[in-house]
């Protein structure tokens, strides 16, 4: 069982906005939540439709960014990958990715090439990524874990998200998410051991996984009141509604409101939660 590392009575919290670069509506919400709310960093999709403008704005406002490694949605940057993409380089979707052969990678060299291409594109945009995380938590897929760790080491990025749900197992979970959370909890300990083996850093766990599409002022307040001593990450998805984005419904704006509301900022101060980033935590270790 994984036991979180404690940090001299402190609560350190990285509030990371996922999917920067997926759409301009999403990006505007993330930058607002960083400027006016509690978001401290974001994960950038190197193959996202709005990558270029998102990267430029991140440089302008000094938003700490990581690379949101993506092997499931959109198109590969490095061209077709045997057994993973179609002939045009399109990724297979979340379900297709999880159905890859369990014993080995279909094209290990191709997957590693694609991971490095995504990291290199973020760097070429003038950004210095301070962490890696994986779209739809594909780090937890056993035969991808080592490839992602190798990409981290090769690129000199020593902090990664640990997709270990921090909420109590007995907590309220929306219908349909129970099996997902069970999957995350089953796979995360092995990933944690692999990260430690390679001296890679990660937070103690990830809050917000059961709050997908239902993070509002009430659920965010309850979550912030639960977080114990340690160094943690809170995963969030703020944005503005976008009819052209399958994940761009009104829930994005509800989440944005929660992350920028004064009562949330006050609660952070009352609990003496130290808002931080992956880079700041890694440097402090």
Structural domain contains residue 252: yes
**Domain count of the chain?**
1
152 within a domain of the structure (yes/no): yes
pLDDT tens-digit readout, 244-274: 787 778 999 999 999 999 999 999 999 999 9
Please check whether residue 34 is in contact with residue 40, taking contact to mean a CB–CB distance below 8 angstroms. Answer: yes
5: in domain: no
More confident residue, 6 or 284: 284
Identify whether 6 is part of a domain: no
Domain for residue 180, yes or no?
yes
CATH number at residue 31: 3.20.20.370
In a domain, residue 103? The reply is yes
| Residue-range definition of the domain harbouring residue 200 | 11-284
- Relative orientation angle of helices 24-36 and 51-61, to the nearest 10 degrees: 10
Assigned domain for 1 exists? no
Beta carbons within 8 Å of 106's beta carbon, 6+ residues apart:
81, 82, 83, 84, 100
DSSP state, 223?
Answer: H
Residues paired with 234 in a beta bridge:
15, 207
Kindly report the pTM of this predicted structure.
0.93
pLDDT in tens, 225-243: 999 999 999 999 999 988 8
The residues that are catalytic are 18
């Amino acid at each position: 069982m994984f036991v979180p590392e404690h940090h001299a009575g402190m609560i350190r919290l990285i509030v990371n906005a996922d999917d920067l670069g997926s759409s301009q509506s999403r990006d505007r919400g993330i930058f607002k939540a960083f400027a006016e709310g509690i978001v401290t960093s974001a994960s950038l999709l190197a193959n996202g439709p709005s990558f270029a403008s998102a990267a430029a704005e991140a440089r302008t406002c000094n938003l700490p960014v990581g690379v949101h490694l993506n092997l499931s949605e959109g198109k590969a940057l490095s061209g077709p990958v045997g057994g993973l993409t179609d002939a045009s380089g399109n990724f297979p979707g979340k379900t297709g990715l999880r159905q890859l052969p369990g014993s080995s990678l279909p094209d290990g060299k191709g997957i590693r090439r694609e991971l490095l291409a995504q990291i290199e594109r973020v760097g070429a945009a003038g950004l210095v990524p301070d962490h890696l995380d994986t779209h739809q938590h594909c780090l937890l897929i056993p035969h991808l874990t080592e490839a992602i760790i190798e990409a981290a080491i090769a690129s000199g990025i020593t902090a990664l998200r640990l997709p270990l749900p921090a909420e109590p197992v007995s907590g309220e979970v929306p219908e349909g998410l129970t099996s997902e959370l069970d999957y995350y909890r089953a796979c995360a300990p092995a990933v944690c051991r692999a990260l430690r083996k390679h001296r890679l850093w990660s937070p103690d766990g990830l809050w917000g996984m059961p709050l997908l599409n239902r993070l509002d002022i009430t659920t965010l307040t309850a979550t912030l009141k639960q977080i114990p001593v340690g160094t943690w990450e809170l995963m969030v998805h703020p944005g503005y509604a976008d009819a052209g984005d399958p994940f761009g419904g009104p829930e994005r704006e509800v989440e944005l409101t929660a992350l920028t509301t004064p009562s949330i900022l006050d609660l952070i101060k009352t609990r003496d939660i130290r808002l931080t980033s992956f880079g700041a935590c890694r440097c402090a270790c």
